[in-house]
Structure 1
Amino acid sequence: MGRVILHVDMNSFYASVEMAYEPELRGKPLAIAGNVEERKGIIVTCSYEARAFGVKTTMPLWQAKKLCPQLIIKGPNFERYRKASSAMFDLLREYTSLVEPVSIDEGYMDITESNVKLSPIEIAKDIQNRLQEELLLPCSIGIAPNKFLAKMASDMKKPLGITILRLREIEKVLWPLPVEEMHGIGEKTAEKLKSISIHTIAELASGNEVQLKKLLGINGERLKNRANGIDNRPVDPEAIFEFKSVGNSSTLPKDVTEESKLYEVLRNLARSVSQRLHRKEVLASKVFITIRYHDRKTVTRSKLMENPVSSEKDLYDTAKELFDKHWNQEAVRLLGITGQELVEKKEAVKQLDLFSYEKDADKEPLFNTIRGIHEKYGSSALQRGMKASAEDDNKKGTSFNKDFLQSP
């Protein structure tokens, strides 16, 4: 009597859309690149014909052309991708109203109570066939009792695969896999897990909760649950309008090497991010900074917080700490601060100690007053010894929402 969740993942979406619009491209090695004119351009996605030559996403153009001299390279056409994405999700909603887009080319469906009189595997086959025939777009589909397992299943057979993953199959199918192949675990998290001798999903599933939480914060417990097939998240059609991260960046009018000016930019960014976190009533468990140099080289670094934060001071102090540690003293063109792994205030439990709880409680009225003045009169109305440029981003929504659901 459990749920039946589908994860629909379009195969090589941008390239497939271009082939749908231009049939002469079908069957040929095709890549979409951010800047087709520059040798340093990066491959955004590529067709499976290109992948057969070793071409991969994020590969520099020069390297891709070396591997595949006949590679056809096109710049992205986001208007085409928006239309194709919209048509794809409209088709999915014919089977159930519980459709949750998670990016332009993938989404979850809860078909537990679908009115379509077909079995789950028949529904998946029907969706796959219709997307291929009506929109000329291939996809892979995972079928499982929850979102995590459905996502893992959809990655198992590409292109044009349909995979069922049941709870009783986790031990045999998932647990032998390297931990870095688990959805939600990136390269850095995998390295951390390996530092405590967790190399497979099975080892994560049986990992020590206290040790995992110390290493990864609240994400440690979450990842262990996922490894055991536990994921109670509902399929939420409104989730695309929620923040998954809150951040701001600032491109400087000229290259800057003066430390004080760069600190000033960081403080302004911290203030802006803090205001947005407070408006959303969320806290950031991780603080992430971006440093882009004069030569476009970009460095990103993050810090997992002992307790979730939202105040300007906490954000600035953490961003400054990361900046001081990783800035190479070269001229900077862009700085950014992002709060990640957001938690709602009402769900955040701070481990207050004997020395900090009175201080935190005393400052809360002051923070509320300052925040109210900033929100009513602008961020430059009340400051502490530093002139700031007014910035207040009232646009709400995920980057997916902004990039693909709103008009350009």
Structure 2
Amino acid sequence: MRKPDEIERLYLDFDGFFASVEQQADRRLRGRPVGVVPFSGTDRTAVIACSKEAKAQGVKNVMPIAEARRVCPDLILVPQNPDLYRRAHNALLCEIETVIAIDTAKSIDELTCVLDDSGRRDPELLAARIKAAIADNIGRCITSSIGFAANRQLAKIACKAGKDESKRRGSYGDALAIWRPADMPEPLLRVELEEIPGVGSSMAKRLYRNGVYSTPQLYALQPKHMRRIWNNVNGERLWYALHGYDIQAPEQKRGMFGHGKVLPPDSRTIAGAYEISRLLLTKAARRLRRESYYAGGVWLWLSIRDGTWFGKHRLAVVHDDQAILAGLHALWQRVRKDYPRGVTIFRIGVTLYDLSPSNERQIDLLDNDDALRRKWEKANSAVDALNTRYSATIVSMGEWKPPAGGHAGGKISYTRIPSAEDFW
């Protein structure tokens, strides 16, 4: 396994991306504390993203609105505009591509690049050119923090460490951190254990049980020891990444398609939540078909006043709306049976799971509805073609009633980059 002796990777993270895009799009918001919320007209939700000015006053992402207003009385609440963020993401990638080729867009606000010879020689100049391209051609409200290191994992940690250092200096973002192999591991050892990607809260507790309480202690472990703690090869991969080796994680296989949504106050009944869940699952099914998969099951998750409700329903390895929505209907029948007097539902999630690539589909030998299923699939193909032609939902299975505030299926996503089709 190769261990680079110079920096080879760049990791870029846009600072307060969603709020800064709002500021760039609306000059009235510039320089003011901004909080992005799921929908307007209610304080019974949370700030899901905030600007650097809001963060400087103590506002945090996923902070209840009432608490955010206490720490920042002049906070301006802006309803989310996910399609704007998608378009901004695409525009920003185009500008960065004029300076350096992008290897992977890790999320809507993070990306990584492989350095060429000039980038390895002068990373400061490369970072300055990227930031200048964004400032000159997109706008100065959208800033980014950049980390350089021998591999992608270390570059990501360096990027986060640079951003944290900017906070300690009294600013936020627009940071730069260069971790050359010759300087390692000292910069890494100053990072808190829980700040290392791959060490979440549950894994940190497992490390504590194994006598590992700090990053220096983690760094001192042997690769096989880390594999035992993680109970899989990811622990060993992390060891090699932290020690500067050029290691690439294997490509992740698609495991499910789903959507979730915080419900508007007037949709928090079983009837209201059901209508929104149908819309969300239809959009998930469209993504399923676009990527050529079939699903063997659907699950429904509800956040309710007294906790949560969760149910699964098996499907006959399908991808058409009729079969998928029939499965969802069966799940809601169970909800109605469990709550005959109704229940307040705050959030819903719908997911298609047990996926099969279209060229590997296997149905039950005793399933007699294959001919009917093929008819529904042909009908769905025609519907998808019409919607694609007009770039809108003009035909749907049943009534199409988008919820108040819109964006169902196209909400803010930190892990997935939405496509234009998500907003139809």
- After TM superposition, is the score higher than 0.5? yes
Instruction: Give the corresponding residue for 1:35.
Output: 39
- When residues 377 and 187 of structure 1 are mapped into structure 2, their CA distance, relative to the original with a 3 A threshold, is farther
| Cα shift readout 1:188-223 (whole Å, capped 9, x = no counterpart) | 222222222222222223156256435443332233
| Cα shift readout 1:359-383 (whole Å, capped 9, x = no counterpart) | xxxxxx9x956399799668899xx
Instruction: Work out the CA distance in 1 between the residues paired with 2:174 and 2:370.
Output: 53
Instruction: Work out the CA distance in 2 between the residues paired with 1:77 and 1:407.
Output: 11
Q: CA RMSD in A?
A: 4.9
What is the DSSP-based 3-state SS (H/G/I as helix, E as strand, rest coil) of the residue aligned with 1:370? coil
Instruction: Work out the CA distance in 2 between the residues paired with 1:377 and 1:111.
Output: 54
- Distance apart, 1:89 and its partner CA: 0.2
Q: How many positions carry a matched residue from both structures?
A: 325
Instruction: Work out the CA distance in 1 between the residues paired with 2:114 and 2:365.
Output: 40
1:400 aligns with 2:412: no
Q: Which amino acid aligns with 2:416?
A: F
Q: 1:217-232 counterparts in 2 under 5 A?
A: 217-232=232-247
Which residue among 62, 65, 86 is the counterpart of 1:61?
Answer: 65
| Cα shift readout 1:152-202 (whole Å, capped 9, x = no counterpart) | 111122311111012343321112433201023222222222222222222
1:370 aligns with 2:364: yes
Q: 1:8-87 counterparts in 2 under 5 A?
A: 8-87=12-91
Which residue among 190, 195, 203 is the counterpart of 2:204?
Answer: 190
CA contact (8 A) 2:36 2:80 kept: yes
Instruction: Give the corresponding residue for 1:293.
Output: 303
CA contact (8 A) 1:202 1:227 kept: no
CA contact (8 A) 1:148 1:226 kept: yes
Instruction: Work out the CA distance in 2 between the residues paired with 1:32 and 1:250.
Output: 18
| Cα shift readout 1:90-147 (whole Å, capped 9, x = no counterpart) | 0111133343111111111112257x89832211111112212321221111111211
Instruction: Work out the CA distance in 1 between the residues paired with 2:87 and 2:78.
Output: 18
Which residue among 174, 192, 195 is the counterpart of 1:160?
Answer: 174
Identity across the alignment (%):
22
1:93 aligns with 2:97: yes
| Cα shift readout 1:237-269 (whole Å, capped 9, x = no counterpart) | xx8xx7564244799x9759xxxxxxxxxxxxx
CA contact (8 A) 2:7 2:181 kept: no
- When residues 33 and 162 of structure 1 are mapped into structure 2, their CA distance, relative to the original with a 3 A threshold, is same
What is the DSSP-based 3-state SS (H/G/I as helix, E as strand, rest coil) of the residue aligned with 1:69? coil
- When residues 170 and 6 of structure 1 are mapped into structure 2, their CA distance, relative to the original with a 3 A threshold, is same
- Distance apart, 1:8 and its partner CA: 1.4
What is the DSSP-based 3-state SS (H/G/I as helix, E as strand, rest coil) of the residue aligned with 2:12? strand
What is the DSSP-based 3-state SS (H/G/I as helix, E as strand, rest coil) of the residue aligned with 1:174? helix
- When residues 226 and 99 of structure 1 are mapped into structure 2, their CA distance, relative to the original with a 3 A threshold, is closer
- Distance apart, 1:2 and its partner CA: 5.2
Give TM-score, length-normalised by structure 2. Answer: 0.61
- When residues 376 and 291 of structure 1 are mapped into structure 2, their CA distance, relative to the original with a 3 A threshold, is same
Q: Which amino acid aligns with 1:226?
A: A
Q: Which amino acid aligns with 2:109?
A: D
Q: 1:243-282 counterparts in 2 under 5 A?
A: 245-248=255-258, 255=270
Instruction: Work out the CA distance in 2 between the residues paired with 1:75 and 1:182.
Output: 32
Q: Which amino acid aligns with 1:229?
A: G
- When residues 211 and 50 of structure 1 are mapped into structure 2, their CA distance, relative to the original with a 3 A threshold, is closer
Q: Which amino acid aligns with 1:13?
A: F
**Structure 1 unaligned residues grouped into runs of 5+:** 257-271, 282-288, 301-311, 313-328, 346-364, 382-390
CA contact (8 A) 1:178 1:199 kept: no
Q: Which amino acid aligns with 2:214?
A: T
Q: Which amino acid aligns with 2:364?
A: I
Instruction: Work out the CA distance in 1 between the residues paired with 2:228 and 2:374.
Output: 39
Instruction: Give the corresponding residue for 1:141.
Output: 146
Give TM-score, length-normalised by structure 1. Answer: 0.63
- When residues 247 and 131 of structure 1 are mapped into structure 2, their CA distance, relative to the original with a 3 A threshold, is same
- When residues 202 and 87 of structure 1 are mapped into structure 2, their CA distance, relative to the original with a 3 A threshold, is same
1:108 aligns with 2:112: yes
Instruction: Give the corresponding residue for 1:123.
Output: 126
Instruction: Work out the CA distance in 1 between the residues paired with 2:40 and 2:124.
Output: 41
